[in-house]
Structure 1
Amino acid sequence: MPSHDHLADTTPQSGTLSEAGNSSIMSQPVKAVDTAFPSPDTATPFSELEKSVQMAEWCSVIGELFYPIAPTDFERYQRPDTVEDKHINYDIARLTVSFSREPPQPWTSYIHPEGGRYFRWEHDLFTVYTDAHLFNPEVLQAVQQFVDQVDGYLTRHDITEVSFDAENVDLVLDVTLSKSNRTICGYYFAYHPNRTVFWLDEFESSERLWRDINGVASQDHILHEIQSQYWHHCALFPSPGCASQVVIEELRDIILHAIGELPDSLVSTTSTVSYSMEELRGMLQLLPSKSRDFNDDSGPGVSRIIYILMKHFAHDRFLHFYGEPVARLNRGTSIYDKNKVHKCSFLFHVLKFLLFAAPSAYLHEIESMLSDGLLSRVVWRDFVDKICKDWSHLTVYSTVLINVDVAFLSIQSIDAGPTSSPLKIAVYLSVISSLGSIFFALLFLRCNNTRLNISTDEAAKIMNSYQDTSCRYENIAILYSLPYALLMWGILFFVAAFMILCLWKTPPVTLVLSSMAWVALGSLVIFYGWVNCTGARQWLLSIREDLKMHRLLVK
């Protein structure tokens, strides 16, 4: 997410009500020299040209210092505030039993379960939330003026789409400093009756909330993103109200259904659920059996967890086009053009045969895992765990093969031969291939062992970084197949060396028996390739059909 300065520079132009959804992009910290905000009317003066350009680019219908943000744009985790790195002498006065500060009226102060402080004010038209440090008089004055501006706009305009009152509507103000040290204010509204967020300005949701998701056009579909944003808002400000029993039971039903839909369950083998059985059971254990009263502020921690889970499930529904005609019902299924077939590059086909068809297997697995660029947490962990185990086994096999090669070279009759003999060259190549297999396996293990528990967003970014417009995931599929392919080449070189030993200058009986054994083994290998390699079989069958057609034409 661009910084709030950038958002302010790109505020939409009109003031119609609009709805939008969730965002997984984080904003950057605002550059500031201190944490005290100058009030809007005493801000650093702009030149006439700068002022006109700024107002033309990011003037909101509320005022020139406002710009709309999504709840996921809220800059709680990117604050530039710091404390002085030195010891401060502080003496506690005698008989001091209270250490709390009374917030300025009419504000109420709350501490988020994570530790951040925020403030709440029940205004006549809405309930205001902000992270701004209202104990600072200058900051308090700036926030008060922003609230007055919103109040004034709503008073002057007859808005019938939303019923404004403190119980139904929340107004969130994200007060920051611009690059010019000017106080600016990001804002959004939350509407509790239907769990949505909205703005007084037009909001460029398709660019700022789901830029990487194509085909989003239905309002029913967008509703899932709006609700995901709503739950994120609730998680930002969980006090004073706690999650209702209705929300808890709704979440419990979602989790229980997800458990039944897991790929290893009896209900579905290709579920789109992105959590493991252990994670879902852990979620169930977190849910309270009975909700607290709405006015009881003693449970913000559990409520925040509930809101975060509701947000994630709502966002998943949006990603899988829940309720749409093209809803993704099976993992690995694309909702876009299903008839579009991507042809692999010529180089990939060449390397596929040189690497014993291993790239094809990896490419199919990666593309199924990253259908439409989406990645499931469960599938990602299973994939990383599987390939790491495979590479660990390959290092053992390669080590055994190197020991066999060295023992083979230590045979007196072979060791006494010239260094340039075909037998020794084949053994040397076998050792080099095995060392290459160990090298790449250890390299990939080092890279992927640390990726087992990363987030799905990070994993998708890593995998998509290997993607090329022309060859998709072919590059990473080729790389991942190197440990296996190099081990196979090491085995083939050792087999070649052993064949030379068996067939080169040997007695006739030994030559005949060895040749028969090698022919039988080779036939079995060819039969295996014929049965398992569908592509090669179809290619040979097509050649045979072409030859038949050619003969018919000649006749």
Structure 2
Amino acid sequence: MDRPKMIKELRELVMHASAEIITSDMSLSPFDADELTRILELINHLQANTLDNDNNDFPHSTCVIARFMHYFYIAKFFNFCGLPCARLEADKSVYKENTTFHPLTSSISLALEAMLFWAPRAHLEDLRKVWVDECINTPHWKDFNKNLMAEWTGITIYSTVMLAVDVSFLAVPNVNIIQSQSIGIIATYLSIIFITGSLIVSVLLVRQNQRHGFESAEKAADFMSNMTGTFFGVRALATVHSLPYAMLMWGMIYFAIAILYNVFKSTMVAMLASVVSGCVVVIMFILWFLWAAREFHIFGQLMRSVFPSVLAADTLP
């Protein structure tokens, strides 16, 4: 194939990838929109050089075309382009999904999810959209890590504020720190421990993400293979990603216990009535949000873990 035809084919690939990105959230393009725009500008320069010269003997231009073609054809290969089982969206697998899980894995995963406020489930869904058939789409991988960085940075700010609140609470004159065996003091200490753990894990995850989060698809695939090559697979990595949020939540819960304990030590009826009414209102709003957002599917998870064969039989036609 001569160079003008190669340039035209490359232009067609870039335009198709650009249209796919505009019309789909799960594009299979190996480049994002900004990169495709810059590639199209380079193609225009290549085409101009081809028209200005008759011999077309420019090894650098050939190398540029070959490098871009390499990425597009690698993407076609991994997505089974041209075959009946071709992948049409980046988060879809071309293989039959394995819905059977080991009972030990399911039980431990359910217990961890309950302890971590079902945060691993959200991270697991995001990971499964990125790590599909042990392949990684570079634009989605970069977006995934940007979202993780934003989440962990926000959690770090919240943890810092909560740590200052816990320390300030211990300095309140009504909180007798000498009575170290009181429930309020113990709960405050536990809150400080969990908040500090959230800060440490957030910093470690941010550092890891800065090292591996914006690498090429090949290096990112090697990193994901090492991280998920355990007994629990992707679930283990999803659990690690959810630790900062979960420990921050436990820190807030223990701080709330410390506050309520010091409030309910009082015998003033007006104070008890106002605090109880406020707690009831807040708990009702939280439960209302959880029910409306369907954040916790506790009974469904329990049924799937305890009676997997029964539920599988019910779903058969």
Structure 2 unaligned spans of 5+: 305-317
Equivalent residue, structure 2, for 1:535: 297
Secondary structure of the equivalent of 1:307? helix
Change (3 A) 1:469 1:498: closer
Match of 1:96 in 2: none
Matched, 1:341 2:92: no
Question: Judging changes above 3 Å, is the alpha-carbon distance between structure 1 residues 363 and 384 closer, same or farther for their aligned structure 2 residues?
Answer: same
1:86-485 equivalences in 2 (<5 Å): 244-262=3-21, 265=22, 267-287=23-43, 288-290=46-48, 291=50, 295-297=55-57, 299-338=58-97, 340-343=98-101, 345-415=106-176, 417-468=178-229, 470-485=231-246
Superposition RMSD in Å: 2.0
Q: TM-score normalized by structure 2? A: 0.87
2:255 equivalent in structure 1: 494
The one-letter code of the counterpart of 1:385 is K
C-alpha separation in 2, matches of 1:277 and 1:245: 24
Q: Would the alpha carbon gap of residues 469 and 406 (structure 1) be closer, same or farther in structure 2, given more than 3 Å must change?
A: closer
Runs of 4+ aligned residues of structure 1 deviating over 6 Å after TM superposition are none
Contact 1:530 1:537 in 2 (8 A): no
Percent sequence identity over aligned pairs: 29
| Displacement of 1:385 | 1.1
Aligned length: 296
1:205 maps to none
Structure 1 SS opposite 2:297: helix
Using the TM superposition, give the Cα deviation of residue 454 of structure 1 relative to its aligned residue in structure 2, in angstroms.
1.2
Secondary structure of residue in 2 paired with 1:466: helix
331 and 533 in structure 1: CA distance in 2 versus 1, 3 angstrom threshold: same
CA deviation after TM superposition for structure 1 residue 540, in Å: 7.9
Q: CA deviation at 1:416?
A: 5.3
Please give the alpha-carbon distance, in whole angstroms, between the structure 2 residues aligned to 1:447 and 1:500: 39
Q: Structure 1 residues 468, 451: CA separation in 2 closer, same or farther (over 3 Å shift)?
A: closer
**Per-residue deviation, 1:520:** 2.3
Preserved CA contact (<8 Å) 1:426 1:493: yes
Note the 1:42-53 alignment, pairs <5 A.
none
SS state at 2:228 partner: coil
Q: Which has the higher helix share?
A: 2
Note if contact 2:170-2:177 (Cα within 8 Å) is conserved in structure 1.
no
Query: Tell me, what secondary structure is at the counterpart of 2:212?
Result: coil
Change over 3 Å in CA distance of 1:505–1:381 after alignment to 2:
same
For the Cα contact (< 8 Å) 1:503–1:515, is it kept in 2? no
Higher RCO (Cα < 8 Å, 6 or more apart) = 2
1:518 aligns with 2:275: no
Matched-pair contact (CA < 8 Å) for 2:212–2:223: no
Q: Is the 8 A contact 1:286 1:302 kept in 2?
A: no
Separation in 2 of the partners of 1:345 and 1:296? 62
Q: Distance in 2 between matches of 1:326 and 1:469?
A: 29
* Bigger Rg, which one: 1
For 2:295, give the aligned amino acid. C
Letter in 2 for 1:274: P
Which whole-Å CA distance do the structure 1 matches of 2:177 and 2:197 have between them?
27
The answer to whether the Cα contact below 8 Å between 2:110 and 2:301 also exists between their aligned partners in 1 is no
1:11-63 CA deviation, whole Å, 9 max, x = no partner? xxxxxxxxxxxxxxxxxxxxxxxxxxxxxxxxxxxxxxxxxxxxxxxxxxxxx
Tell me by how many angstroms 1:472 deviates.
2.0
- Counterpart Cα distance in 2 of 1:442 and 1:484: 13
Q: Is the deviation greater in 520-529 or in 280-289?
A: 520-529
1:453-507 C-alpha deviation (Å, 9 max, x unpaired): 3111111111111224642211111111111111111100111111112212331
AA in 2 matched with 1:511: L
CA distance in 2, matches of 1:321, 1:305: 25
Instruction: Give 1:526 deviation, angstroms.
Output: 2.6
Secondary structure at the counterpart of residue 435 of structure 1: helix
Alignment deviations for residues 74-100 of structure 1 (CA, whole Å, 9 cap, x no partner): xxxxxxxxxxxxxxxxxxxxxxxxxxx
Would the alpha carbon gap of residues 335 and 506 (structure 1) be closer, same or farther in structure 2, given more than 3 Å must change?
A: same
In structure 2, C-alpha distance between the alignment counterparts of 1:257 and 1:526, rounded to whole Å: 47
For residues 410 and 307 of structure 1, what CA distance do their matches in structure 2 show?
Answer: 67
CA distance in 2, matches of 1:459, 1:328: 20
Deviation at 1:315, TM superposition (A): 1.7
* TM-superposed deviation, 1:450: 2.1
Is the 1:352–1:359 contact (alpha carbons within 8 Å) kept by the matching residues of 2? yes
Kindly provide the amino acid, as one letter, of the partner of residue 329 in structure 1: L
Distance 1:461 1:385 in 2: 19
Q: Per-residue displacement from partner, 1:245-268 (whole Å, max 9, x unpaired)?
A: 111011001101111111xx2x22
Give the Cα–Cα distance (whole angstroms) in 1 for the partners of residues 70 and 227 of structure 2: 30
Give the CA deviation at 1:412.
0.9
Q: Tell me if structure 1 keeps the 8 A contact 2:28–2:90.
A: yes
Instruction: Please state whether the residue corresponding to 1:289 is helix, strand or coil.
Output: helix
Give the Cα–Cα distance (whole angstroms) in 2 for the partners of residues 394 and 253 of structure 1: 44
Q: Is the 8 A contact 1:437 1:482 kept in 2?
A: yes
The residue type equivalent to 1:245 in the other structure is P
